[in-house]
Structure 1
Amino acid sequence: MAAKFKKIKASSSAFWHALRRTLGNLPHLVTVPAAPCIDDTFLVEFPKSGITWLTFLIASVNLQKSGLERLPTFFAINDLVPDIHTSRHLPPPLPFPSHRFIKSHAPYNPLYSKVIYLVRDPRDVMASYYAFASKLGWYQGSLSDMIRDPQFGIEAWVNHAQSWLTQTRPSVSFNVIRYEDLRSDTASVLKHIYALLGFTIEPEVIHAAVEGSSFSKMKENEAFCADRNLTLPDNFTFVRKGGRSHKEEISAEDLRYIEQLAGETMKIFGYECHPNEE
């Protein structure tokens, strides 16, 4: 009888431990697919760090390798690299690589087993995010106001980056990609991403993906998909300059503020800052 009681108690204890673990993960479930797979690869960024461009590059490679006569478009990019914030019910993967790449803006999520973290100089992120949010009417204040906003500004960028840097368990399945490196040597970074997954992609496939996702082609693609879309604001463009926009758009005072708050995190990613310069 005592042995039976101990067995029941142990079983009950295991159940409650499992339940607590499940409940502890509930806040993270909203950014996990409804049917998660162990081979899901998450492309994670703070908004406006360049992930749309990266999804087009990856979609192009996957379509070519799948032997499909199709091009990625703004209208249908979520068919190919789905956005977890749009829906948790995701389309099936393409024949190549036979698993899903999933776009996410989520802070640290312990349920993501493979993560490519795309980072961009936060000074450029702030300028790009403001242009995007203000044009869509999401943000009503000035660029200076938004930089200081805890939900949208530099504090949010630091919290997002630090969540992945400090909370992620030591893992070989986490890799940082810098947007600036992707711009300067797109082909090499794209090959690196696939090498992480164990694939060697032919140079001609990489070349076609890079050419098809160039700035001019992305602008053409966006204009084509925006034509007759009556829901978009006038003159709205998702694809901007893609360069160092903060140099023309952010004041010296605001740059010092950004660098004072984010300087230590920026250095981790290799971004130089000079918060005391006039």
Structure 2
Amino acid sequence: MAEANQHSNSSSEHLLPNMIEKEENISQECRDIISGLPREEGWFQNSLYQFQGFWHQAWLIQGALGFQKHFKACDDDILLVTTPKSGTTWLKAILYATLNRYPTFHLFPTITPISHNHPLLTTSPHLLLPFVEGMYQDNIFRDQIDGMASPRLLFTHMPYSSLPKSVKHSSCKIVFLCRNPKDNFVSLWHFANKIRPKTWGTLSLEEALDKFCRGVSPHGPFWNHVLEYWLESLKRPDKIKFLKYEDMKDQPATNLKILAHFIGHSFSQEEEVGGVIDDILSICCFENLSNLKVNKEGKLPFGMETSAFFRKGQVGDSVNYLSSEIIEKFDSITQEKLGPHGLKF
């Protein structure tokens, strides 16, 4: 039952050093691999390397290697995959609350539905879903994933082509979330400037735009990442649920019911009447999560402040930052890359 899961070469090349940055906990195997990879200046810190067709930081490449080599998917695993800054924190919370709704949520409207000791009130959603690339960078953390209670709820930014074979060949479920590329870009740009070392200075909108449109973004190219999951979801809709942030925001209750059914944890009629769906959406909404102490003052184990993950959570905010020419450029790229495959934003 779900309760078992609780608590559980480029124009910027000249800006790069002549040798690979020294990064903590990078194995010699990974150093040997990245030494021969295309390299670009990163958005946050450290360089980005083009690994298996996508751009990643070195430590995440090491984690991806461990993930690919050692992860053994179970048929009841649930894997959340997102493009960075597409509503990841929100959907982590929603999936966690949905999977762990007993006995946290009461089933009758005469009793206050939301428990005052729900884990989301005191723990960042980023700590409730193990980040597999990070966990598989270290064998100790890898063992923690292996020891998780079933069903395991996990998270990754990896493109579909880089997922372990056991994920692709098992019956485990993949929930993929993406966002309109214009809003995604603006959110990523703001996020980068929140967490970049001060010695790096501010990442300008123009520089970020050049990187993003060339595909040089964390786990990018964005359009390739999205397209892989879109095409696979058309082939295997029983395995991959393709979600757009905009649709989730427009009809959250309807999409939550669909999502719960997809992962095998549908809401009963009694739960629906009892307001459980509304209560999950309430505890997981942007306004609630962003105002919790743990998300305003807390830090993740690697030092990043949890508040960095919250900005506006709005649809269409990119119009406040992008000119009509830039918007036209984004729309043209999106149509070229995704339009022929029937995917629109």
Deviates more, 1:79-88 or 1:152-161: 152-161
Structure 1, residues 150-185: CA drift from partner, whole Å, max 9, x if none? 321897111211233446793231121111111112
Check whether the contact 1:49–1:118 (CA below 8 A) recurs between aligned residues.
Answer: yes
Secondary structure of 2:154's match?
A: strand
Residue 72 (structure 1) aligns with: 120
Match of 1:102 among 145, 154, 179: 154
Residue 82 (structure 2) aligns with: 45
2:252 aligned with 1:186 = yes
Tell me: CA distance 1:256–1:192, structure 2 relative to 1, closer, same or farther (3 Å): same
Residue 19 (structure 2) aligns with: none
Structure 1, residues 36-89: CA drift from partner, whole Å, max 9, x if none? 323222111110111210111121222322559532157443453222132132
Alignment of 1:1-278 (within 5 A): 29-31=65-67, 34-65=71-102, 67=104, 69-73=117-121, 75-88=123-136, 89=142, 90-91=144-145, 93=148, 98-108=150-160, 109=163, 111=165, 112-113=167-168, 114-137=173-196, 140-149=202-211, 150-152=215-217, 156-166=221-231, 170-171=235-236, 172-201=238-267, 202-203=271-272, 204-221=275-292, 223-227=293-297, 229=299, 231=303, 237-243=308-314, 244-267=316-339, 268-271=342-345
Measured in 1, the distance between the counterparts of 2:325 and 2:203 equals: 17
Secondary structure of 2:309's match?
A: coil
Residue 33 (structure 2) aligns with: none
Cα shift at 1:245:
1.4
* Structure possessing the higher radius of gyration over alpha carbons: 1
Tell me: CA distance 1:224–1:142, structure 2 relative to 1, closer, same or farther (3 Å): same
Tell me: CA distance 1:215–1:73, structure 2 relative to 1, closer, same or farther (3 Å): same
Measured in 2, the distance between the counterparts of 1:200 and 1:154 equals: 32
Tell me: CA distance 1:61–1:249, structure 2 relative to 1, closer, same or farther (3 Å): same
Check whether the contact 1:44–1:106 (CA below 8 A) recurs between aligned residues.
Answer: yes
Tell me: CA distance 1:124–1:199, structure 2 relative to 1, closer, same or farther (3 Å): same
Total equivalences in the alignment: 242
TM-score, with structure 2 as normaliser: 0.61
Tell me: CA distance 1:85–1:196, structure 2 relative to 1, closer, same or farther (3 Å): same
Measured in 1, the distance between the counterparts of 2:195 and 2:83 equals: 18
Tell me: CA distance 1:27–1:264, structure 2 relative to 1, closer, same or farther (3 Å): farther
One-letter code of the match for 2:277? I
Measured in 2, the distance between the counterparts of 1:74 and 1:148 equals: 39
What residue ranges of structure 2 are gaps of 5+ in the alignment? 1-51, 53-61, 106-116, 137-141
Deviates more, 1:188-197 or 1:62-71: 62-71
What residue ranges of structure 1 are gaps of 5+ in the alignment? 1-23, 272-278
Secondary structure of 1:72's match?
A: helix
